[in-house]
Structure 1
Amino acid sequence: MFVCSCFGVTEEQVKGHAEAGARTPRQIASACKAGTDCGGCVRKIQALLGRGACPRRELIDQGARALTELEEAA
C-alpha cells in the first residue's frame, strides 16, 4: 500500500526506514523523500511511526513507569 503517492513510497518502505533508525517524519523524508512534496502523507507516516517513536515521549513514559514501580514498592 502506498503511503506517499508523490514519490511512490510504500508502507513497507517507511517501516523499513523506521527499523533502520528513522524516528521522525523528517528522518523518513531524508531517507526516501516521502512527505516532502504535497505533505498529504505526513500524518500517515506519523501513524506508522507511532506515538512511542518520539524520543521525548519515550522518556516521559519511562519516567512514569519508574514512578509507578516506586509507588508499588512502597
Structure 2
Amino acid sequence: MDTSQHSMHNLFEQLGLPSSEQDVEQFIRIHRLFSQDIQLDQATFWTPVQAAFLREAIDDDSDWSEVVDELNTRLRN
C-alpha cells in the first residue's frame, strides 16, 4: 500500500501534464474556473481520461483526493 503524500507535482505527472512549479502555476492561471456551477472534472480542458481520474479521486475519496481538492480550490481563486 502506498502511504506517501501526493503533491501537486505528482498530480500533474499523473495527469500527463508538465509538472514543474512554473508549469503548474501557468496551468492554473490559464484555466481558471469562474463558475461554481462547473465541477472540476467537467471542465472542458481535461481529456476524458484526466476527467475520469479526477472524478474517481473525489468520488472514491482516494489518496489523491486531498491534492485534487487543492487543485480545485486553486483553480477557483
Normalised to the residue count of structure 1, the TM-score between the two structures is: 0.34
> Comparing both structures, which one devotes a greater share of its residues to strand?
1
Structure that is richer in helix per residue: 1
The structure that has the greater radius of gyration is 1
Q: RCO (CA 8 Å, sep 6+): is it higher in 1 or 2?
A: 2
